[in-house]
Structure 1
């Protein structure tokens, strides 16, 4: 008889159009969606084994658009880990990691671990895809911001090629099953 799987709630946040939904669909179905459909809230689930632990990973996809700023925190209670995404070809989404997303996460879930993820790495070398006329965000910039916001880890991935995709969710699980010793074990609540 196998051991029962542990439930882990992983909430994926970040600006609209950074690739959160594509990342989740690509990971859970092994296929890349061809059409953009803005998300309000969506849930996905993945059974996986990480470091010998059987886990049922509940993946919560959230809307990054400003219109949903008041609604989005309703998905935060009982979050075990956040995956905070930005697009490596969008400087605005990268800037919003520190100006918008970290304050929001910390206000609602101060002790929840965070995995910072740079998405769309397949577009980093494509000059036609760099938004806002700024250079793509480098791995070093991502790592530096990850340290500054005290994220558990910085990772990069591509939903299109699936490069680094599995690692994102394996490390999200590891952040919960092997927390840093200084972190208190608590889930977030909204009062």
Structure 2
């Protein structure tokens, strides 16, 4: 694929969320250039898994790799059946603002949304993943405090 005039080869690893793979999944992490942590905007539990499972696991194994947080299935925000099923559980689809707030919290380099069904935002997600590698944000210097006694 070509991003900003640069030809790149993109390799994707869908590491699956099944517990059966919990011990094997981190073996695919070394040399990963960028992580896309995805959650469904129609699944509050997948949103919660970002902070309870995916972010801690990635930070443990690849603390310096950039992360892009991706809200998926955005077409379901307007799907009557999905809205009804969520409402029956006292829930609603997650809003873009909630995703952006979480992206800020986990210090993701970007927050994106897409729909594989309609293709809306899909190419942009992968373009931004490539940009995160080709033009990484400079690491912010940590303030170090020195105490002399």
TM-score by length of 1: 0.69
Any runs of at least 4 consecutive aligned residues in structure 1 with deviations exceeding 4 A, and if so which? Answer: none
> What is the aligned residue count?
137
**Counterpart selection for 1:144 from 95, 101, 120:** 101
Which of the pair is proportionally richer in strand? 1
Unaligned 5+ residue runs, structure 1? 1-47, 185-191
Q: What does residue range 156-175 of structure 1 map to in structure 2 within 5 Å?
A: 156-175=113-132
**Counterpart selection for 2:13 from 37, 55, 60:** 60
Q: Residues 123-174 of structure 1, C-alpha deviation per residue, up to 9 Å, x if partnerless? A: 1122422566211010000000000000010000000110000000000000
Q: Residues 40-60 of structure 1, C-alpha deviation per residue, up to 9 Å, x if partnerless? A: xxxxxxxx1111211001111
CA contact (8 A) 1:87 1:119 kept: yes
Secondary structure of 1:83's counterpart equals strand
Q: Does 1:181 align with 2:138?
A: yes
1:70, distance to aligned residue in structure 2 (A): 0.7
Which of the pair is proportionally richer in helix? 2
Q: Does 1:122 align with 2:79?
A: no
Unaligned 5+ residue runs, structure 2? 142-149
Computing the radius of gyration from Cα coordinates, the structure with the larger value is 2
Q: What CA RMSD, in Å, does the superposition of the two structures yield over aligned residues?
A: 1.5
